Amino acid sequence: MLRLGFSEFYLQGGDWGSLITTALSQMKPQSVKGLHLNMVPMRMGGLKTLLCVLLGRHLPWLVGFTREDVRRFFPYLEKWVYTVIRETGFLHIQATKPDTIGSALNDSPAGLAAYILEKFSTCTDPDFIQLEDGGLQRKFSMDDLLTNVMIYWVTGSSTSSARFYKENFTREFQTSPTARTPVYVPTGIAAFPYELTHTPRVLAKDIYKNIVTYTYMPRGGHFAAFEEPELLARDVQKFVLKLEKNKQ
């Protein structure tokens, strides 16, 4: 951005993008006018999180939970171990043996499509797993889905994209400077109901100290920009407009 001549800019991220934009906000806060996220990884452990887990359901006001936080947070928490076992096999193999799975996916277009499209089912709505077709075309067109698959296929980038997990999921993942350094730039959060985790505002403030907007989105899952682009765009616009008006 600096080479392009932009000394200040806004950032938006989800999934790995949320970690990348967070790191940019930590390293170059003087250039980041605002940070908008549609996924906030939750810090597990610590007294504050433990108190929220123990008291949040029955005394939400005491720990800063809203009714919507209770409705979204605890059903996920109750299924957390089961969900991790069932849904994160791809993460484990990519974080430990990326070249193995990468070679297989680069060799088979059908295998690559199955590997990628399965995530567009369960990460869009976990209940889609019960449907015969995985509910893929309830939110996406087949042309759009296959375009996504083709980007990996024609570039042969399955191995390099899988290796990203290996390179970043190290023993120091939770203790790295990025995991421990607060973010003070203005932050907006769009909380989609079917995101992989729901991080209440009170827990997000452990890292993001200046949360300007926090929106409970009415629908949508992990691939928000792909699935609900208009909803996400409107929330980004609301966040930016609020910051720009405050500067006038």
Largest CA distance in the chain: 56
Which 8-state DSSP code applies to residue 73?
Answer: H
Out of 76, 165, 206, 216, which one is annotated catalytic?
165
Q: What is the pLDDT of residues 114-172, one digit of tens each?
A: 999 999 999 999 889 889 889 999 999 999 999 999 999 999 999 999 999 998 877 66
pLDDT value of residue 54: 80
CA atoms of 209 and 202, how far apart (whole Å): 10
Is 165 assigned a catalytic role? yes
- Other C-beta atoms closer than 10 Å to the C-beta of 136 total 17
pLDDT value of residue 25: 96
Sequence ranges of the chain with CATH classification 3.40.50.1820 = 9-64+174-247
Within 13 Å, how many C-alpha atoms sit on residue 111's CB side?
9
pLDDT value of residue 162: 94
Is 222 assigned a catalytic role? yes
What would the two tokens of residue 89 be?
């096999």
Residue 53 amino acid letter:
V
DSSP string of 27-69?
Answer: H-TTTEEEEEES--PPPP-SHHHHHHHHHTTT-HHHHT--HHH
What is the H or E stretch that residue 20 is in?
helix 16-27
Residue 208 amino acid letter:
Y
Q: What is the pLDDT of residues 29-71, one digit of tens each?
A: 999 999 999 999 776 667 777 787 788 788 888 888 889 998 8
Q: Burial level of 44, CB count in 10 A (0-12/13-18/19+)?
A: exposed
Q: What is the pLDDT of residues 192-205, one digit of tens each?
A: 999 988 999 999 99
Out of 15, 76, 206, 216, which one is annotated catalytic?
15
Q: Is the pTM of this model over 0.85?
A: yes
Per-residue pLDDT at 236 exceeds 80: yes
What average pLDDT score do residues 67-86 get? 82
- State the fold for domain 9-64+174-247: Rossmann fold (3.40.50)
Per-residue pLDDT at 218 exceeds 90: yes
Evaluate whether 207 touches 183 at the Cβ level (below 8 Å): yes
pLDDT value of residue 111: 96
Q: What is the dihedral of CA 173, 90, 18, 125, to 10 degrees?
A: -140
Is 15 assigned a catalytic role? yes
Which 8-state DSSP code applies to residue 195?
Answer: S
What would the two tokens of residue 22 be?
């967070």
CA atoms of 100 and 96, how far apart (whole Å): 9
Which 8-state DSSP code applies to residue 172?
Answer: T
CA atoms of 34 and 184, how far apart (whole Å): 10
Tell me phi and psi for residue 32, to 5 degrees.
-90, 110
Out of 125, 152, 198, 222, which one is annotated catalytic?
222
CA atoms of 134 and 137, how far apart (whole Å): 8
